[in-house]
Amino acid sequence: MHVKRVLGLLLVMAVAAATFSTPAAASDPSESTTERSSCAATSSESSQRTIKKRQSRKQKPAAIIASDQEWPESAEFHRGSVYVSNLGGAQIDFASIDGNGSISKYSADGELIDANFLPQDDGVLNAPKGITVVGNKLVVVDVTRVLAFDLASQKQVFEIDLADQGAVFLNGIDKKNWHTVFVSDSETGEIHEVSIRSGKVSKVDVEPIPGANGLAYDRSRRRLFVASLGPTSDFSVGGQLGVIRFKRNSTSYRDFGLCEAGNLDGIRLVGKTIVYSTWDFAGTGTGKLMAFDLRTKTVSPVAGIDGVVGYADFDVDRRTNTLWGATLFGGEVVRIPLQVR
């Protein structure tokens, strides 16, 4: 069986219980028996409660704005609209080449604008996952392909297949600049840099990161934060939160030593805090939202929506500090006001 299909099936089996399970209690990384000496601790104050702070007047309360998506994997907020990638199909398949994938579009108020916003005409999406906006284009990773669509005309304007570059299971994406994106491959652990203008492709020069998934690029400091699932052959090992630093003559990677981090998925940098989603593939199969403070190196749970589990990839509206996310097994699109900075 092809390795892409194997990974997809492993993920399905690992998280199938999420539909029926109740959310697991947040683990306390300080109790880990790992030998890692730099294990990031859970804040003694925040471990007793989720982060709470007075909401901005611009923030709206947490809500499920849609619940009819077909295996939604990623949400992207852009200029008052929310774009959601859907794997599609009657049964979930992370790597199928079946043409069932789509991108839907919502208003920030939860009004469905177009259930099949993309692709148009003869365009095909199979199992789209990470999405990001670059200029006026929505860039999508789809199994081994990277595609770009003009948001105004809805026409496909770019496509490249990275299978020739060794890609197997493209998953996460983030913008580097106005014509380049970073793309992660969860199976190979490699990160590709792709120009949607010239088609040039290169690999980030670091050792493979097992289960590399969510990406968040900090352009001002030339660093790329990476959320990883952990080895796809053994999800019980768990993933990590780490950072790649790009210097003039070198590129380096280090992880933050989070204990019992789980299997990390989506990630966004919000001020001095990294917000990420994480699953417990080896246990309950449920997921949650967490925050890692870059100043104090502490981890705290993020208040979500009661009864909602399995947050996949997400985006944050920086103006209102609002998270827009997708719940893979719930078929939901959610809005959550963040109380981190």
User: Half-sphere exposure of residue 216, counting CA atoms within 13 Å on the CB side?
Assistant: 25
Tell me which DSSP letter residue 220 carries. G
Query: Does pLDDT of 46 surpass 90?
Result: no
Q: Could you give the CA distance from residue 28 to residue 6 in angstroms, rounded to a whole number?
A: 32
Residues of the chain with pLDDT > 90: what percent?
Answer: 71
8 A C-beta contact, residue 42 and residue 291: no
What separation, in Å, do the N-terminal and C-terminal C-alpha atoms of the chain show?
45
| DSSP states of 31-93 | G-----TTPBEEPTTGGGS----PPPTTPPPPEEEE---SSEEEEEEETTEEEEEE--SSS--
Q: What is the mean pLDDT of residues 253-260?
A: 94
User: Half-sphere exposure of residue 86, counting CA atoms within 13 Å on the CB side?
Assistant: 29
Q: Could you give the CA distance from residue 229 to residue 262 in angstroms, rounded to a whole number?
A: 7
The per-residue pLDDT for 283 is 72
218: exposed, middle or buried (Cβ count in 10 Å: 0-12, 13-18, 19+): middle
Contacts of 113 (CB under 8 A, 6+ apart): 81, 105, 106, 107
Q: Both tokens of residue 81?
A: 């609209």
pTM recorded for the entire structure: 0.87
Number of Cβ within 10 Å of residue 80's Cβ equals 9
Look-up of token digits 């949650």: 288
Q: Both tokens of residue 77?
A: 């907020």
What is the rounded average pLDDT for all residues in the chain? Answer: 86
The per-residue pLDDT for 43 is 57
As a whole number of Å, the CA-based R_g of the chain is: 18
Look-up of token digits 């103006």: 319
Residues of the chain with pLDDT > 70: what percent?
Answer: 83
Query: Does pLDDT of 194 surpass 80?
Result: yes
Which candidate, 200, 201, 170, 199, places its Cα nearest to that of 186? 170
Q: Could you give the CA distance from residue 35 to residue 259 in angstroms, rounded to a whole number?
A: 10
Pick 296 or 14 by higher pLDDT.
296
Q: Could you give the CA distance from residue 73 to residue 124 in angstroms, rounded to a whole number?
A: 17
The lowest-confidence range among 30-34, 91-95, 141-145, 173-177 is 30-34
Tens of pLDDT, residue by residue over 235-247, are 899 999 999 999 9
The per-residue pLDDT for 28 is 36
Query: Does pLDDT of 68 surpass 90?
Result: no
57 falls in which pLDDT band (50, 70, 90)? low
The per-residue pLDDT for 340 is 81
The per-residue pLDDT for 11 is 53
The per-residue pLDDT for 220 is 96
Tens of pLDDT, residue by residue over 11-39, are 543 444 333 333 333 333 333 333 333 56
20: exposed, middle or buried (Cβ count in 10 Å: 0-12, 13-18, 19+): exposed
The per-residue pLDDT for 41 is 65
**Burial 146-169, CB ≥16 within 10 A → b, else e:** bbbbebeebebebbbebeebebbb
73 falls in which pLDDT band (50, 70, 90)? very high
Tens of pLDDT, residue by residue over 266-295, are 999 999 999 999 998 877 777 899 999 999
The per-residue pLDDT for 251 is 97
